[in-house]
A and B are shown apart, each in its own frame.
Chain A
Amino acid sequence: NAGVMQNPRHLVRRRGQEARLRCSPMKGHSHVYWYRQLPEEGLKFMVYLQKENIIDESGMPKERFSAEFPKEGPSILRIQQVVRGDSAAYFCASSPGDRYYEQYFGPGTRLTVT
């Protein structure tokens, strides 16, 4: 039973480029959450999605960041025109629809902006 999968594990981008982070939830899970972990800090909620719907994006920066969870395929977190402050670990979690309080995390994508 595969867990939450994220790729790439490490991503290096120059300032101004775009970063695309992918997340495949656990089998049978229809809810996906994205969190960001800045160095030496805890995780901060960014966005919560169900298939084809953004349910809560209250933690997402207003500009340059977007997320989607299409009917087919993984969830994508997209960061346009990256800046050094975007360097962080980005974690995806998934939960079954009826147990939203049980979130299972992927290994994360470590984004470095040079």
Chain B
Amino acid sequence: GNSVTQMEGPVTLSEEAFLTINCTYTATGYPSLFWYVQYPGEGLQLLLKATKADDKGSNKGFEATYRKETTSFHLEKGSVQVSDSAVYFCALSGSARQLTFGSGTQLTVLP
């Protein structure tokens, strides 16, 4: 079946530092890949997506590239802000139309 493995947290960075959160997946066929962000006490918000190999999703300074050869979809941001502190979830959607999530990575950005 489908599965998503993402970098365990928590991750603590200083403001303006570079962020990478690793995500790898196992899936049959050609899944779509997503990053969701969850702020404290809130639901998940779609951050970015990529639907085919070599696509780059980007939003709010975050980027991730769909790498089929390494089955990866790592999240990056060049300069994080305090307001980026949240839990980040990598997810995939295959033919079953359900999302399969990683376990989440807690990010804390210090001023």
Contact = CB atoms under 8 A, between A and B. Distances in A.
Interface residues of B, number: 20
A33 B103 contact: no
Interface stretch (A42-50, A67-75, A76-84): A42-50
B96 to A, nearest CB: 7
Interface in A22-79: 31, 33, 35, 41-45, 48, 55-56, 58-59
B99 A33 contact: yes
B97 A43 contact: no
B98 A104 contact: no
Interface string B72-111: 0000000000000000010001001111111110000000
Dominant secondary structure at the B interface: strand
A59 B96 CA distance: 12
Interface in A92-114: 93, 100-108
A105 B46 CA distance: 8
Interface of A: 4, 6, 31, 33, 35, 41-45, 48, 55-56, 58-59, 91, 93, 100-108
Interface of B: 32, 36, 42-46, 49, 51, 89, 93, 96-104
The 4 A-B residue pairs whose C-beta atoms are closest, nearest first, are: A42-B101, A45-B98, A105-B43, A101-B93
